[in-house]
Amino acid sequence: MSVIRMRPLLVSAAIALAFTTSRLSFAVPTHALGDASTSSFSQGGTVAQTARGWEFQVNATNVQIVQLGANIWTDGTALTLSLWDDNSHTLLAQTSVTSSAHNWVFANLGSPVSLTSGGLYSVVGWANVTNTWYQLNNTPPAAFTPTGTIQYTQVLFDNGAGPNTFPTGTTSGQYGVTDIGYQIAPEPSTFVLILAALNGHALLILRRRLA
């Protein structure tokens, strides 16, 4: 096979791989709580150094977290949002947002965080303010206790702890309210795998001819 004939093969493989990567990078994330309304929620009662969020179990493979977000009571509050591995109390990702009262606000992570099927994780919001920022509902609508790929387990909270401390208090309902944006990382398609294999074969032939 000549170098000229191999060029279209190399180009087609590169295009297919770039297209797959582009689809993954620009996929619209799924929000676990579905951007549900918090109109039935009440204002929380604790101020300063407060951490509020919820724990969830992952029930699928290839889940990647790409966003963290919140829907809180106050406007213009600076929130630190954290993603935790609950089994090891390891901080996996952290970002910040400025709130818009009773509206969902999300921030993209610098890179996706891959989660393990069957693992327990939590998304927690933290603020150090003089007014009560978070919302609560002890018997929230079903949208706030999701099942399926992301399964709600319990609320996590802490008072007086900083943003980098895993919250150890637990309860039911929803407090916060925080959320994640996730995507399912696609497996490479058969077409791309075939092109990659052909591409590798073509490069091998080229090396032998140039040797």
| Among the listed residues 122, 114, 129, 132, the one whose alpha carbon sits nearest the alpha carbon of residue 166 | 122
**Pairwise CA distance, residues 85 & 200, whole Å:** 39
Instruction: For residue 154, give the amino acid letter.
Output: Q
First to last CA, the chain: 15
CATH code at 30-184: 2.60.120
Average pLDDT of span 114-132: 96
- pLDDT over 90, % of the chain: 74
Please tell me the total number of residues recorded for the chain in this structure.
211
Write down the pLDDT at residue 15.
43
pLDDT at 89 over 70: yes
Give the pair of three-digit tokens for residue 153. 């387990």
* pLDDT tens figures, 189-211: 544 444 455 465 555 554 555 55
Write down the pLDDT at residue 33.
98
Q: 13-17, 27-31, 104-108: which has the minimum mean pLDDT? A: 13-17
Write down the pLDDT at residue 115.
98
Domain segments of the chain as ranges: 3-26+188-210, 30-184
Is residue 109 very low, low, confident or very high in pLDDT (cuts 50, 70, 90)? very high
Give the pair of three-digit tokens for residue 78. 């600076």
Task: Please give the model's pTM, rounded to 2 decimal places.
Answer: 0.79
Contact 178, 80 (CB under 8 A): no
Contact 32, 176 (CB under 8 A): no
